[in-house]
């Protein structure tokens, strides 16, 4: 294990907040942060730009063609790499009405809560022989967000004739009496913000065909999905990673621990695996551990940097309120060509400024506190894709595919950097045990300048090809 990377600057601590000249001239930090929030809209998830794919699984509680009621049990699965707010989803189950009488919907049970489901029955304007009506299910905001790889669990639905006569399901488009266990059913359709994303409706309409996975862009690149057993896994060093165990700052000096890095399974992550950085404290220096990992080679300069990171607004255990810093950044030694590109998420703020907020900062001089920084007061609880492009004299920061901030001029990096992640405490405001976790799904660097969409395509290509790690960036 590393005893502390000499490239790290001990100045990354309380003396080097992202606040300062840029945020204190002309107004308080709070005033300017609120002004920034007005100038920059709340960060949108990638889901807002393109409907992520989902799968609808189905089983029936009434297997006979003739039954007292229709019992479609549904389960919606997020098969994309982005979270999906369920309030954007509508699902349609198609059937034929056996008589000109109203049909009544009832929710028997639903894991998101029956109170968070809405339903309507409508006639199809161009009916088919197996469907002239559909039951549409929607979700209230209280149903929450469906993480990548997650499912809604059971939606146990009932649909019956208002005169309580038997229904004939045998000629219903969506019915399949053989499905007594959850099975993907493409005769049930799903819509995301009104766009058809799953299934084929009775008219034959289906979602646009997605292109097959493409290979990642060629050229110098690093990709890692952190498929390691633990901090002592020999693969970490072999793949150019160094887990910090040495002294120095930032935060609570001398509290860096290899045991603060782990690689658990996580159903919400693409590929089901994450790197977890854990910061723990009881309010004392002796009872504090912080986490940091970086590339052992300083070899990254112009190009595209990206990582999918899970930020937490509250501790996993213990009292909330810490000034904790959750990061993804690049850095060089604190020398005459010092360069640093920061993404620092402060759920409770810090250095006298409020949170939750993400600071993006391009540094020119740590000693002189000379940098350009930007932040918006906005919660980023959950998964987010952070990206930085370094090209032609401009650094551009993106959050979930949306431009967040850019810097130019002397703030452009001047020498090769390492890629780093850490989680640390700015200070220790109170006593009592608490634990904070930051998760990293994957990290990607490409020496070319890629758009957020190209980054997504490249990462999906690695996963589709079963590639857990690659590094073609020359050392030195």
Residue entry with tokens 């498929």: 227
> Residue 347 has which token pair?
């759920």
Q: Tell me how crowded residue 451 is: count the other CB atoms within 10 A of its CB.
A: 13
Residue partners of 451: CB distance under 8 A and separation at least 6:
none
Rounded Cα distance between 430 and 459, Å, is 41
> Residue 414 has which token pair?
């001047």
Rounded Cα distance between 449 and 469, Å, is 20
What DSSP string runs through 44-94?
PPGGGTSPPPEEEEEEES--SSEESSB-EEEEEEE-SSS-EEGGGEEEEEE
Domains and CATH numbers, the chain: 21-46+213-471 (2.60.120.200), 54-198 (2.60.40.710)
What DSSP string runs through 249-276?
-SSSTT-B-GGGEE--B-TTSGGGB-EE
Beta strands in 259-369, from DSSP E residues, in sequence order: 261-262, 275-281, 291-295, 303-311, 317-318, 324-331, 340-346, 357-365
In a 13 Å sphere around the CA of 121, the CA atoms on its Cβ side amount to 19
Rounded Cα distance between 10 and 366, Å, is 10
pLDDT value of residue 95: 97
pLDDT in tens, the chain (476 residues): 333 343 444 344 434 566 643 332 223 223 223 233 333 333 333 333 344 479 999 999 999 999 999 999 999 998 887 778 899 899 999 999 999 999 999 999 999 999 999 999 999 988 999 999 999 999 998 898 888 888 999 999 999 999 999 999 999 999 999 999 999 999 999 998 788 889 999 989 888 664 444 555 667 999 999 999 999 999 999 999 999 998 898 999 999 999 999 999 998 899 999 999 999 999 999 999 999 999 999 999 999 999 999 999 999 999 999 999 999 999 999 999 999 999 999 999 999 999 999 999 999 999 999 999 999 999 999 999 999 999 999 999 999 888 999 999 999 999 999 999 999 999 999 999 999 999 999 999 999 999 888 898 899 889 988 999 999 999 97
Query: Tens of pLDDT along 372-427?
Result: 999 999 999 999 999 999 999 999 999 988 899 999 999 999 999 999 999 999 99
């Amino acid at each position: 294990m590393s005893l502390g990377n000499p490239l790290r600057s001990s100045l990354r601590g309380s003396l080097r907040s992202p606040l300062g000249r840029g945020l204190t001239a002309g107004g308080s930090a709070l005033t300017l942060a609120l002004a920034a929030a007005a100038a920059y809209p709340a960060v949108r998830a990638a889901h807002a730009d393109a409907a992520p794919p989902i799968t609808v699984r189905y089983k029936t509680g009434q297997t006979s063609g003739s039954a007292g009621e229709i019992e479609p049990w549904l389960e919606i699965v997020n098969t994309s790499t982005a979270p999906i707010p369920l309030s954007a989803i509508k699902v349609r189950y198609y059937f034929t009405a056996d008589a000109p009488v109203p049909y009544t919907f009832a929710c028997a049970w639903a894991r998101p809560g029956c109170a968070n489901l809405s339903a309507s029955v409508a006639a199809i304007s161009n009916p088919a022989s197996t469907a002239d009506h559909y039951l549409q299910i929607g979700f209230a905001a209280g149903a929450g967000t469906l993480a990548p790889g997650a499912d809604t669990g059971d939606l146990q639905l009932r649909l019956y004739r208002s005169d309580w006569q038997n229904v004939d399901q045998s000629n219903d488009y969506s019915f399949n009496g053989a499905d007594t266990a959850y099975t993907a059913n493409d005769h049930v359709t799903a819509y995301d913000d009104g766009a058809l994303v799953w299934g084929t409706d009775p008219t034959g309409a289906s979602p646009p065909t997605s292109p097959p996975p493409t290979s990642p862009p060629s050229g110098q690149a690093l990709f890692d999905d952190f498929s390691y057993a633990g901090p002592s896994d020999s693969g970490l060093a072999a793949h150019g990673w160094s887990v910090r165990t040495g002294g120095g700052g930032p935060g609570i000096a001398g509290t860096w621990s290899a045991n603060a890095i782990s690689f658990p399974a996580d159903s919400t992550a693409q590929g089901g695996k994450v790197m977890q950085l854990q910061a723990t404290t009881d309010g004392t220096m002796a009872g504090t551990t912080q986490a940091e990992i970086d590339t052992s080679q300083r070899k990254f300069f112009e190009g595209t940097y990206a990582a999918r990171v899970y930020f937490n607004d509250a501790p996993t255990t213990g009292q909330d309120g810490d000034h904790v810093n959750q990061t993804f950044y690049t850095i060089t030694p604190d020398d005459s060509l010092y360069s640093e590109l920061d993404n620092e998420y402060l759920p409770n703020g810090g250095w006298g400024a409020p949170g939750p907020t993400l600071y993006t900062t391009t540094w020119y001089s740590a000693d002189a506190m000379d940098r350009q920084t930007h932040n918006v007061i906005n919660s980023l609880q959950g998964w987010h894709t952070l990206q930085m492009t370094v090209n032609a004299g401009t650094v551009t920061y993106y959050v979930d595919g949306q431009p967040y901030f850019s810097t130019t001029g002397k703030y452009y990096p001047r020498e090769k950097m390492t890629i780093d992640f850490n989680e640390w405490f700015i200070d220790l405001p109170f006593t009592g045990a608490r634990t904070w976790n930051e998760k990293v799904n994957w990290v990607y660097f490409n020496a070319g300048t890629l758009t957020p969409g190209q980054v997504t395509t490249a990462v999906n290509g690695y996963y589709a090809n079963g590639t857990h790690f690659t590094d073609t960036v020359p050392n030195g």
